Amino acid sequence: MPVFAFAIGVAARDVQGNCIDCFYPAPLKEPDGDLGDAISKAFKPGTATVRAEQVRDFVQTRQPALAPVLETERELIATLLPADKAVSSTPEAFLKLHLLSHRLTLPNSMNLDGIFAHLQTVAWTTEGAIALADLPERQLRARLAGRHFEVLSVDKFPKMANYVIPSGVRIADSSRIRLGAYLGEGTTVMPSGAVNFNAAALGPNMVEGRISQGVVLGQGSDLGGGASTMGTLAGGGEITITIGRQCLIGANGGTGIPLGDRCTIEAGLYITAGTRVTVIDEDGNRVRVARGRELAGGSDMLFIRHSESGEVQCRTNRKAIALNEQLHAHN
C-alpha cells in the first residue's frame, strides 16, 4: 500500500470526545521504500487511537525522534494517508498543515479541499485548544483554582510556533503566523508581518507585510511594512499569486497579479488585474496601455505612479534588491 503521509501524535478533544486539535512532532511525507512498507504493515489507513506500547517497536526502530511519546500514559493517535485526497477528518487536516510548516511540501502542492469543514472554530488558550461550548466552565475552574488562563485567539487555525519552529527563522510576533505556513531558511518576519496557512516565504525573505493564503514569496524578496498580496480565498478568486526572486513590494503597496523575478512596486501602489498601466520602453517612450493581467508573470518590471499625472507606469527595473546577508543568517 502506498503511503502519502504518516504521523504519530497527540490529539485534544472536547467533552464529547470530538477531536479538535492534533500535534504531530515528526510527520512523514512519502517515506521511502523500507519505511513506507513498515508503516503500511503496522498501521491502517485513516486515524486510530494507539497506546505507547503498541507503537514501541516501530518508534524505536523507525522513528527514534518520537522516543518521548513512549513515556506517556496518554492516548496517542496514528494517522496514515495512502493518497493525497480531499481532507475527510480533523486529524487529516492537521497532518497536512504540519507537512507545510515542517517544510515537507510547498503551498498549492496538496489537495486541501474540505479543510475548513474539518477544522472547528475553537478557543486557543494557555491551557491548549478548548471547544467553545466547554470554554465557560474551563474559565471558571481556572479562576477558582487561581490559575492564569488566557484566550489567545478564537479561530480554526492555531499559531505555527506552538507546533513547529523551522530552523533559521526569526518571528517577531508568533500570533501572526498560522499553522500551515511555510517559512524557509533565513526568513525574518517583523512584528507587522503575517503569513497565512498554505502560503510561503521560501527564504531568505524580509516579511513586514501580509502573505495571503496560496501566495508564495520567492527567495531574496522583501515585502514592505503594510504591504499585502491578494490571496485566492476571498471573492472566489482562482489566480494563484506568486512573487519571484529579488522582488520588492514597497510599504503599503501590494499585488493582485503574479510577478516574475526582480520586480519592484513602489510604496503605496497596489497593482491588480484591472489596473490600467502605461508601459514605458527603455527610451522613455509610451508603448501601450495594458491591464495588470496582461503583465502578469513578467520579470524586471518597475511599477511606479507618476508624481504629477498620477498615471501608473511600468518601466524596466534596472536594479534588483539585495537582502542584508548578516540580518538573514539566523544561527
Are 316 and 282 in contact by the 8 Å Cβ rule? The answer is: yes
Determine the Cα–Cα distance for residues 21 and 11; give it in Å rounded to an integer. 6
Sheet holding 182-183, edge to edge: 182-183, 200-201, 216-217, 242-243
Establish whether 208 is a catalytic residue.
yes
Cα separations (Å) of 26 from 16, 101, 203, 217?
28, 11, 22, 26
Which residues does residue 316 pair with via DSSP β-bridges, in sequence order?
Answer: 301
Catalytic residue (one of 53, 137, 208, 266): 208
Determine the Cα–Cα distance for residues 271 and 256; give it in Å rounded to an integer. 6
Determine the Cα–Cα distance for residues 268 and 249; give it in Å rounded to an integer. 9
Q: Grid cell 519571484 — which residue?
A: 244
Q: Provide the greatest CA pair distance for the chain.
A: 75
The three cell numbers locating residue 229: 498580496
Determine the Cα–Cα distance for residues 77 and 49; give it in Å rounded to an integer. 5
3-state helix, strand, coil in the chain (%, to 5): 20, 30, 50
Q: Any idea which residues carry the catalytic annotation? A: 208
